[in-house]
Structure 1
């Protein structure tokens, strides 16, 4: 039976480099202010590379950093039109250095609140929002305002709501 390889932690990097966790953290986050020798910095960087260390996403969220992820909320992925738009959106986001998390409402307004809460908890970099056709304008405004309150920028698609301050992309 193959054993599962554990993901490297900051403590593992520090141990391999022979430094404290605080030192490893400061070096990897470029916050050492010249306190450490080049030899120490090199040891930490090499240890991180050797262990394939990556900062935990949730640790980045706790620091208030946005993940390089954009949420895309669409009404119904089964509709080919939304699939084509999603493909183009994802391609352009990737070119700009972002990954996309797709939230398919399946034309169910009940899913919307849960999806928005998830995207806020993940501290995504932004959201492309395509509300459901039968949702009220006030419901759409509430969704966008909740995202804005969390510091997450939003782009409205197709269903423009002038009461909401958010960029809009529509079809003529």
Structure 2
């Protein structure tokens, strides 16, 4: 079937609560002792650990308020990141199957301004005269295609790093 991705051994494409990184202790350890790399527009923190958790790979997704002051913009970007991870998580999960350790990962969206061809301004707000406001959700946000491409690159790099 054209365009169909091989998702490995009949894995679910859901993003369950068990796969989300919720432990404050594990988050602190991840940011303080974990490794990281930058793949614009993401900064990825990762760490192998042996703590008992419900899923082999746990993920945290964050968009800083400093770069996107409006919650609607942050939420949109987080939604795009979650969807890109959900569809492509098999890239990292398959590489962790034979490993007895667990993996904690944090994806931070560090991008501020992205190239014009990858942006989607909202013309309906401009028509209403709201485009002149200083802080507006007209701010150019990334398209899903860009986020997914970068997420795939990040997951591939992460799977190489986590196998070491």
User: Which structure carries more relative contact order (alpha carbon 8 Å, separation 6+)?
Assistant: 2
Structure exhibiting the larger radius of gyration computed from Cα positions: 1
Same fold (TM over 0.5): no
Please report the TM-score for the alignment, with normalisation by the length of structure 2.
0.28
Higher helix proportion, which one? 1
Please report the TM-score for the alignment, with normalisation by the length of structure 1.
0.27
